[in-house]
Amino acid sequence: MDEPRIPFMQIRPGCILQYDISYWAYIGSSRERFHRYNALPDNTKYTGKMNEKVKSKIRFSVNLLVAQARWKEIENPATKSLYRFKINFITLTLSAGQKNITDRTIKSKMLEPWIRNMRNIHGLRSYVWRAERQKNGNIHFHFSTDTYLPYNAIRDVWNHQQAKFHFITDFKNKNNSEFPNSTDVHSVANIKNLAAYLVKYMMKDEKGLDTIQGKIWDCSQNLKLRDRVTYEMSTSDFTLMKELVARFPDHLITTDHCSIFQLSETEMKTYLPANYFDDYKTWLDQIYHAADPPGYKRVEDINV
């Protein structure tokens, strides 16, 4: 006799996920299900290489970063004019050869303090970073965030972290300067499919290069929240999915474990039931505000 299974659908940034869960894995309290899930064998040890599981996690986090981000008006410090900002893309590089400094040391003694500074001094909120090996053997980092960070601060704080080791000294000995241009910053507000652009850069797999010691990526805590917009499927849900597939047959991707139906936020608003779309937007709002610093008051919470 086949094991009974329960169909679910999950609304995610850029797609609807359809999958089944074993009835026996589903029954019980939410606390029991949580402990069962976390008691599963840990197959996520850091390999230092890009694989399909890592790609899936990066893709989800980047899509969520973009979906929860909000448009802001930022003043250009040079021209004093305002421009719209949503997401930026930062690259942090080493200004000299890495030599005997390990990847783990650079991440713990340089990248982590840089992130703390950006968070504590410049209000860094949601972010995703990815470590990558350059052809010269150095590690470098791609970093994307929904927070406007001043370019000078990005560069100066990163160079301060480099100065803890030999990187600034070696650069000065070679270039007669203590101020390397070790960072690159792009606003990516004008790219039509922003999430796809970021995913492309975050998921590059440089074949033939050395592995990264330890984790090759991470994200802010709010992007790790376990809650999802999930529904046990009803007859009307199956009808909805059938109609969507008939309308957009090329949007469907089928794997061994689930079906993925790609859908933009505009298409979600158009074709999903209003309560489903409202649940999705409420979830994004929760993700966004989970990045609020302690003591932060939302504008709508302030009595004026």
pLDDT at 18 over 60: yes
Q: What number of CA atoms fall less than 13 Å from residue 150's CA on the CB side?
A: 11
Please say whether the beta carbons of 109 and 166 come within 8 A: no
Residues in Cβ contact with 271 at an 8 Å cutoff, skipping those fewer than 6 apart: 240, 243, 244, 247, 263
Residue 84 has what pLDDT?
85
Q: For the whole model, what pTM was predicted?
A: 0.86
**Average model confidence (pLDDT) for the chain?**
86
**CA-based nearest residue to 53, from 295, 216, 225, 251:** 216
Structure tokens at 128: 């995703």
Residue, of 203 and 31, whose pLDDT is higher = 203
Binned at pLDDT 50, 70 and 90, residue 41 comes out as very low
Query: Which DSSP category does 110 fall into?
Result: I
Give 100-135 pLDDT, tens digit per residue: 999 999 999 999 999 999 999 999 999 999 999 999
Residue 47 has what pLDDT?
62
Give 268-289 pLDDT, tens digit per residue: 999 999 999 999 999 999 999 9
Give 72-83 pLDDT, tens digit per residue: 888 877 788 888
User: Residue 170, class by beta-carbon neighbours within 10 Å (0-12 exposed, 13-18 middle, 19+ buried)?
Assistant: middle
Please say whether the beta carbons of 7 and 233 come within 8 A: yes
